[in-house]
Structure formats: C-alpha cells, structure tokens
Amino acid sequence: MFRAGTGTSLSRTLCLASCLSGAALAAQPSGGPTAGQARRRLVEGNQRYVKGNMKACGASNAAARSTLATEQKPYAIILACSDSRVPPEIVFDEGLGQLFVIRVAGNVPDPVVLGSIEYAAEHLGSPLLIVLGHERCGAVTAAVDAHGQAPGHLAAIVKALGPAVTRARSVTHDRTQDQSRETLVEAAVVENAREVAAALPKQSPLLRRLVAGGKLEIVPARYDLDDGTVTMLDPPPATR
C-alpha cells in the first residue's frame, strides 16, 4: 500500500498509471465492461478510499480531460443523495469520465432524474446503476420527523420518501420492536434505496427493457458515514 511521504516519484507514477487506465476505460468502444466488472471496480475503488490508498488523482489531469473532450463512456451510473459528505467520485476513487452521477436529496427519482438515467443507460451504454443511500441521511430524517408535513418544496421530498418510512416502521417493529428515531432513520435509508431500485424499471419502459435484456443491472447500496464503506444491498424482488 502506498502511503504519503514515501516519495514524490512514486506518487507521480501511481497517478500517471491511474490516469492512463482511466482514460483508456473512458475511451473504450461499445463492448465495454459488464455490470459485474463495473461492480467489482466500484468495490475496489471504495476499498482504496476506506484504506486511504486513493489513486484517482491522476485520472483528472489535462491528458484525461483532452481524451474525454469529445466522448464519454462512464462504466456506472450513480443515483446518490446531494449530501456533501457523499461525493461518489471520491467514495469510489474515480476520476473524470468514469461515473455518470445524478445527485438529489434522498436519492429519489423524478422525471428529470429518470431521463438522466435513461440517457446514461441507453445512449452512453452504462451497464450498472447504483442507487446509493447513506447513513444518517438528512432527507430521510426530515421525512421521519415530518409525519407527512413539510414546508415549501421540501414537501415533495417528504412525500417521495414516505413509502420507505412507512415500510421501515413496520420492519423495525417486526424485527426488533425498536422504534427509536435513529433505528427508524437507518431502516428507512435501506428501504428507500431498495424501493427506488425496484421502482425504476416500473417507472421507465426503457430501463425495464434494458434490465430484461441483460444490458443494465440496478443495485441498491448504503454508504457508511463513519468508516466510508459502501455496502451493496440485496436486490429487490423486481430485479432478481
């Protein structure tokens, strides 16, 4: 493992290698990585991030920018929360052109989000979509506390997260009898990621066709704010 302070030349070498690897993947033809390969790459990148052994610094330099100026081939789509502590490119140790990132509070889809996902899946050929929830999500917490009521446009977020909160109340009661706010929020984070992942093919005929044809895999996941680990969750029944 490379550690800071072991030598400038080694650091530059690692960054250059990462840059060349990233640019090559971004520029590769339509026969790109499979969903399984993309998923493994995300897991490996997250492990580097957790260990403090990140290598993607060089993947965002001038050479990579030039390569990507006229074409992009992101290998994964990430639907993530807007929370400032959960930037997917950093969490998965990736640079320019590798991830197609859509961020919205509570990682819930609306027509614009759906269109963005469809674009990446259909036109860019990304084979993997991660629905990334995270520990202590502020949007989910607001939905738990609001009991269906919220001011302004926050009401739309609360409404979108309502089914996950309702499901979480049932799950936590059945499994643990624990209805504490913290337990409920964490259960709702997981339920929301799974429910969004299951709902996307139902909401979009295009995504449903890609999933049915084996061209797109949709996976719910959860990010741990404390240790940085991303856990891939069990796929919902609709995508198994």
* DSSP-derived secondary structure for 46-81: HHHHHHT---GGGGGSHHHHHHHSS----SEEEEE-
pLDDT of residue 171: 81
In a domain, 2, yes or no: no
In a domain, 3, yes or no: no
In a domain, 215, yes or no: yes
Give residue 73's Cα distance to chain centre. 17
pLDDT of residue 60: 79
What are the counts of helices (DSSP H) followed by strands (DSSP E) for the chain?
A: 9, 5
In a domain, 15, yes or no: yes
pLDDT of residue 196: 97
Tell me which residue of 202, 232, 230 sits closest to 219, measured CA to CA. 232
Please state, as a whole number, how many other Cβ atoms lie within 10 Å of the Cβ of residue 78.
27
In a domain, 109, yes or no: yes
The tokens describing 15, both together, are 């960054």
pLDDT of residue 32: 86
In a domain, 87, yes or no: yes
In a domain, 1, yes or no: no
Angle between helices 181-203 and 205-212 (to 10 degrees): 90
Q: Count of domains in the chain?
A: 1
> What residue ranges of the chain have pLDDT lower than 50?
1-29, 238-240
pLDDT digits (tens, 9 = 90+) for 83-134: 999 999 999 999 999 999 999 999 999 999 999 999 999 999 999 999 999 9
Tell me 148's DSSP state: T
pLDDT of residue 63: 86
pLDDT of residue 175: 61
- What CATH number corresponds to the domain at position 21? 3.40.1050.10
Place of tokens 């995504």: 207
**Domain assignment of residue 21, given as a range:** 8-239
